[in-house]
Amino acid sequence: MTRENDPIARFRSWLGEAEASEPNDPNAMALATVDADGRPSVRMVLLKGLSDAGFVFYTNQQSRKGGELAGNPNAALLFHWKSLRRQVRVEGPVEPVSDAEADAYFATRGRESRLGAWASDQSRTLADRATLECRLEETKARFGDGEVPRPPHWSGYRVVPTAIEFWSDGSARLHHRELFERHSEGWTMRLLNP
């Protein structure tokens, strides 16, 4: 399968170009989920893994996004690279990564980030900043100079793409759009009107 026919290979190529041109976080992506009432929610997360199986990000599973994904394991992603005048949309079901994958990624995070994963009750109401800072100090004391393991409520999710759309800016707003859709026999591509 050539890069033109393989949306994951094309995405890797575009991401490589973004890594060379974007001033900050070329792996930043908007993640859209829905709650139990069908109300959408979107936030920025970072792409931390990519394979033919899908797009991986990590979070506190007790966060709002974690709760929404538990109720409806489908999501949409959007990458926007302003300097390249490109964007990529991804849609598909979401599955948890393995404990081994989550442990391996967690071990690469800085110590303060690992401690923060224990201290933060992500997405829940915080009385004041001092409360969070106090919990962080308690967490530091708890682990001392020892290893900081991955919390049981912190892991990753893989968006398994069923659709990937590549968008390139065009003159006179005549943008170029290619939609790849996954079927049992592989990917098909069709052009979309701008």
- Residues acting as catalytic residues: 173
Neighbouring residues of 152: CB distance < 8 A, sequence distance ≥ 6? none
Confirm if 113 and 140 have CB atoms less than 8 A apart: no
Confirm if 143 and 81 have CB atoms less than 8 A apart: no
| Of residues 132, 188, 145, 184, the one with CA closest to residue 164 | 188
Structure tokens at 166: 């590549």
Tell me which DSSP letter residue 24 carries.
S
Strand intervals (E) in 82-175: 86-96, 154-159, 163-168
